[in-house]
Amino acid sequence: MNKVKVLIVDDSAVVRKVLSEVFEAAPGIDLIAVAADPIFAMQKMEKEWPDVIVLDIEMPRMDGITFLKKIMKERPTPVVICSTLTEKGAETTMSAMSAGAIDIVMKPKIGLKAYLQEQRNVLVDTIKSAAGANVGKLKRVSVNDNVTLIPPSGAPKLSADAVLSPPSAASLVKTTEAVVAIGTSTGGTQALEQILTKLPRVSPGIVIVQHMPEKFTTAFANRLNSLCEIQVSEAKDNERVTTGKALIAPGGKHMMLKRSGAQYYVEVADGPLVSRHRPSVDVLFRSVTKIAGKNALGIIMTGMGDDGANGMAEMHAAGAETIAQDEATCVVFGMPKEAIARGGVDKVIPLDDIPMHIMRYLPR
């Protein structure tokens, strides 16, 4: 198996040094070059083109966004953005997503060297996963993205049991209102934009988990809200799920569906990482199983890993309709593939067909 060729572009000498040490020691990765800015990077890329580029955003001579747009126009390549976890960094990261970033990892302002060294295994996994992305999809659509807050290295992989008890037979009771639950990760913000911008102002209530850290979900929701006819916002604890509204789980928090009488609302809460994520799709899907049962639509879309696969199987067993995005339209077919393999999917459909299925769940 060929090694993944990696190029690091970052104006921080510390970041270049630490990432170089991580990748040089990693089996399956070939660090072909490092560069302090995009101008130097382009010179190195004339000699050898990387499989994955690790890119800073704020750099001298040419910023990372301009460089990213140039790459995606000339030769689409998986790009992992290194971004600071700040409000300004979140806004800039949205521009990186629009320009074509496949994944984003955080770098703290304090304790950078120790943090990157501690997370070496996850960094390596991120690079290898990015290398397997659907490059043809990157070229066809210029918005492919995911934001990954690196979880503690070696952390146990917990199930939704760590947050919610398993669903019971009560989940099968028919409710008066329907709800649509969507889970996604790598490439998900692009996919969500394609879906939500096609929905009319009067649409079913939607709850969404997109793997993102805090601050980034606020910027992402605000951007979608400016593009969509429906209202899109970062979910707040006890907020109602209503027609014409999509609620996105806040980064760093789990989101669960609750019910008061015939009305749905969401609970936003802390909790352990589930399937190595917070927010977790498995947690959202289990809560939907328990509260909405067969009167729900579950959708799992592009993303790495298997978060949501068990939760979708539970939704399916409770009588909910379940849909997976097909491989041809996914940036990464990991999450849908796992959900299909575990027998929890009723239909596998292309991204463009998903809005039509959502509209079938309008209240009659």
Q: What is the DSSP string of 242-276?
A: -TTEEEEPPTTSEEEEEEETTEEEEEEE----BTT
pTM of the model: 0.82
Residues of each domain in the chain carrying CATH 3.40.50.180: 160-359
Domain 160-359 falls under CATH 1.10.357.10: no
Q: What is the pLDDT of residue 55?
A: 93
Q: What is the pLDDT of residue 122?
A: 77
CATH of 4-140, one of 3.40.50.2300, 3.20.20.70, 3.30.565.10, 3.40.50.300: 3.40.50.2300
Q: What is the pLDDT of residue 112?
A: 74
Q: What is the pLDDT of residue 199?
A: 96
- Is 11 tagged catalytic? no
Grouped pLDDT means (10 residues each) for the chain, 364 residues: 91 90 92 95 94 90 88 90 70 76 75 75 84 72 40 57 63 66 91 94 96 84 93 97 96 93 92 90 96 95 92 96 96 94 96 95 77
Q: What is the pLDDT of residue 133?
A: 86
Residues of each domain in the chain carrying CATH 3.40.50.2300: 4-140
Q: What is the pLDDT of residue 143?
A: 38
Q: What angle do helix axes 334-341 and 309-317 make, rounded to 10 degrees?
A: 40
- Is 168 tagged catalytic? no
Contact 331, 302 (CB under 8 A): yes
Q: What is the pLDDT of residue 116?
A: 75
Q: What is the pLDDT of residue 270?
A: 92
- Is 357 tagged catalytic? no
Annotated catalytic residue, options 185, 203, 280, 287: 185
Owner of token pair 């399916």: 316
Cα 280 from Cα 253, distance rounded (Å)? 8
Annotated catalytic residue, options 211, 254, 277, 316: 211
